[in-house]
Amino acid sequence: MSSYCWGWGFYGLCQNCVSPPISATELCQFVQTARLGSMGGILKKVLLYGLLGAAVFTVGMLLGHFGIQKGGESSPEWLRDVSRDVDESLIERFIAEVDNTQIRENLRELTSTPHMATTEGDERTVQYMLKRWQDPDTGLDDAWREEYKVYLSFPNKNTPNKVTVVSPTSEVLFTAREKEKVYEPDQSHPDVVQPYAAYAPAGHPKGKLVYANQGKVSDYEFLNATMNLAGTIAIVRYGGAGRAAKAINAAPFGVIGVLVYTDPMDINDGVMSDVNETYPHSWYMPPSGVERGSFNTHFGDLRTPYLAAKEHTYRIPEADITGLPPIPTQPIGFEDAYTLICELDGPAAPSDWHGAFNCTYNVGGPGFKATSRFNNGDVNLDIYNKGELKNSSNVMGIIRGSVEPDRYIIYGNHRDSWVNGAIDPSSGTSVMLEITRVLGKMVKEGKWRPRRSIIFGSWGAEEFGLIGSTEYTEEYYSKLRDRTVAYINVDISVFANATLRVQGSPAAQSVVFSATKQVKTPGSNPTSVYDNWIRFFNRTSPAHGVVPNVAFLTGAGSDYAAFIHFLGITSMDIAYTYDRSKTKARIYPAYHTAYDTFNYSAQYIDPGFTSHQTVARTAGNVLLRLADSLLVPFSSTDYAESLEQYLSTALQNFNDRLAQKGISMEPLKNAVTKFRTAATSLEKLIQESDLANETPLKVRRINDQLMLLERAFLDPLAFPDKFGYRHVIWASKSSSVATFPGLADAFAHAQKTDLRQDWDQVYRHLSIVTQAIEGAAHSLEEVI
């Protein structure tokens, strides 16, 4: 028998593909009968064989076309692009081109005027961002502004807030500073806003003063045990409880007003004198320095919860807003706090309530000592804050991906500040602008285009409660949920110049490690950022040994909040910080004051701007790896390790007590084990696959599993009382136990009350987190 298919005359294309093949005799008969006009059965056979031959030829051509060795010169360009991995030489070029001088000049421009959200200074920074991102030589593919109409809170320019001590006859005995002391021209700018507590209500409370430590519930309970707090004014220091919580906690005890200050022990390592110790002689906060801030507990626009704050959006009434101070509140400098606290009567406060003042921290009588010049005096607060609807802008820019344009890496930082904001946030914005300059230039020159799309966001009104970023996630919820691979946040890029500090999802740990091993620290004989980092923050990993510690994103400290807590997008926050063995400062001392200026940064935070440069190189390196890697560089086994860590803590703290209540933790243990098994299997599949030479659909499938892993931990009903928090692993918590937040908080509450319904809530949260982990494990499996 002849072994060829003849339909199109290609011999040997397919062995024995037609059985039986048409013979030469039959062919001759076909020709003869065709001439006679009668083909009969032979014609049917010829047609059948011809069709089969054509089909086989087509398949053969396709196999031949796509079977060409990938990477060969004859392979199509799109096929080479699909299998392309991150280019290490391009990353090295990026690192080399990041310029500290450019960053310095970015910062100088950004801090040339105060730029509180929605002010003229803010609009100036909007225009500056657009100009840079639309530059024809170094700009992005596209850039634009997006507007939201948001609810903000401002003091009255014409009637400033006042804090006074008045006698029984209404004589003013003392007046606190309305503005901070001027040391440099920056602090005398007319747009420097008076220190105030944003969203604290207007009012004029007057009462006896008490010292309430940090304004925690336990602090007020301690005072309430020995005195009547009704009608008093409390003075508290920053730390221990959130800004808004200090007043929210006070109101149920009858307190009618709150003063907040920063104790020199908590920010200045105890130093207090501006003659030779504090700014302008060092980085420490001077006595008149006041930390401004937003006194609300929710993030996003307060009048459009879960809705983007567009012009047409429904807004709840102001009276229905929750999470705000119910009583007037005002921040003051520690020089004024010193004057007030050192005159208080009553017993001495507990030793752990004491700060740096060289006097006894008494709690108050309530009120002042009989020997004080303020004897029988009341503290009077005249607060004129007012809520307003204002237009706020995000500035957005993009570099379009060449292979997977529908997969996004988002890099963001807020633009607004309380005053000049050199550190918060302009250090981060200056770094972002340098990253976009280098990458934009590569794109404009035609030398590079990322595999995935990169979105840059300059968020508005962050200082008032992460508003710009939250409204963005609410407006583009569906698209971002389905398409975003990761979010990189660089807010305060440089707190100081000692070492890197990273917070993030465990899945992102490996890509950060890869980047930091490639970037060098500043200096004449530099080590890698990784090796320097591990000296300051480290932990022991069962899988990797001693590694740098990547802290968890368990709160809402910056614009990553909506991305990880609301959308379940793998997120990270990157910064350079100080050596905590050399200072007890809870944050850099000029934080949210009028002293956070370009000169402050250049003189005390990062002379030479080499730490800014290092953060730009590191964050940009992470960005490139996320945007260009064939396989998304996330690790599910690193996530498993973190869940095991949380489980161990939960078992140690809760297991015995829950067993007494008939609640078993075995299902949670089993869920974590299932997750570990699924994660290990996925990692094994990745390691055993030659993904560059396999079908792109396999790569896409694995990438989707890695991208969507974080989403698997979302439960919209888990925390009905916590706006925006849906991630059952990383939600905020009040418990000090470092484990699953819903379970930890429910357990702490049930331990306190020992009520059946509260133990039921513990059981409920145990089930919630168990089911979430099991669901995440299922998402890592190949098929259901």
Within a domain: 732: yes
Q: What is the pLDDT of residues 299-328, one digit of tens each?
A: 999 999 999 999 999 999 999 999 999 999
- Show the tokens assigned to 413: 């930082």
Is the same domain home to 130 and 194? no
| Options 462, 474, 475, 641, the catalytic residue | 462
User: Could you give the angle at the alpha carbon of 245 between the alpha carbons of 242 and 251, nearest 5°?
Assistant: 160
* CATH code, 274: 3.50.30.30
Report the C-alpha gap between 372 and 339 in whole angstroms.
Answer: 11
Number of domains comprising the chain: 4
CA pair distance 396, 471, nearest whole angstrom: 13
| Residue-number span of the structural domain to which 740 is assigned | 636-780
Residues 163 and 188 in one domain: yes
- Give mean pLDDT, residues 154-181: 97
Q: How far, in Å, CA of 252 to CA of 248, rounded?
A: 8
Which residue's entry shows tokens 């290609």?
Answer: 10
Do residues 557 and 578 share a domain? yes
Asked whether the predicted pLDDT for residue 43 surpasses 60, the reply is: no
Single out the residue in 583, 608, 628 at which a domain terminates. Answer: 628
**Is 1 within the bounds of a domain?**
no
Angle among Cα 510, 515, 517 to the nearest 5 degrees reads: 95
- Which of 161, 174, 202 has the alpha carbon at shortest distance from 379? 174
Q: And the tokens for 30? A: 């076909």
Neighbours of 144 (CB within 10 A): 13
Residues 480, 460 share a domain = yes
Q: Tokens in use for 368? A: 């002042």
**Same-domain status, 744 and 660:** yes
Structure tokens at 522: 């500043």
In a domain, 580, yes or no: yes
Question: Global pTM?
Answer: 0.90
Based on the fold, state whether residues 623 and 702 are members of the same structural domain: no
Residue 391: how many other CB atoms lie within 10 Å: 13
pLDDT at 648 over 50: yes
User: Are 31 and 128 members of one domain?
Assistant: no
Distance CA 252, CA 221 (A): 10
- Shared domain for 602 and 682, answered yes or no, is no
* Cβ atoms of residues 724 and 299 within 8 Å: yes
Q: In what order do the strands lie in the sheet with 452-459?
A: 142-154, 386-399, 452-459, 404-414, 484-489, 571-577, 499-504
Check whether 2 has a pLDDT greater than 50: no
Domain end residue (candidates: 56, 76, 96):
76
Find tokens 């075995």 and name the residue: 666
Q: Tell me how far apart the terminal alpha carbons of the chain are, to the nearest angstrom.
A: 49
The answer, yes or no, to whether residue 6 has pLDDT greater than 50, is no
- Per-residue model confidence (pLDDT) at position 698: 94
Q: Point out the domain boundary residue: 628, 644, 675.
A: 628
> Is the C-alpha dihedral spanning 237, 240, 241, 247 positive or negative?
negative
Do 312 and 393 lie in a common domain?
no
Question: Do 526 and 559 share a structural domain?
Answer: yes
Annotated catalytic, 445? no
102 and 60 inside one domain:
no
pLDDT in tens, 371-407: 999 999 999 999 999 999 999 999 999 999 999 999 9
The overall longest dimension of the chain from CA atoms, in Å, is 134
d(CA 220, CA 217): 5
Please give the structure tokens belonging to residue 493.
């890029």
Distance in angstroms (rounded) separating the CA atoms of residues 177 and 160: 11
Q: Each residue of 711-744: pLDDT tens digit? A: 999 999 999 999 999 999 999 999 999 999 999 9
Question: How many CB atoms within 10 Å of residue 124?
Answer: 15
Structural domain contains residue 92: yes
> Can you read off the two tokens belonging to residue 622?
């992470």
Same domain, 307 and 206: yes
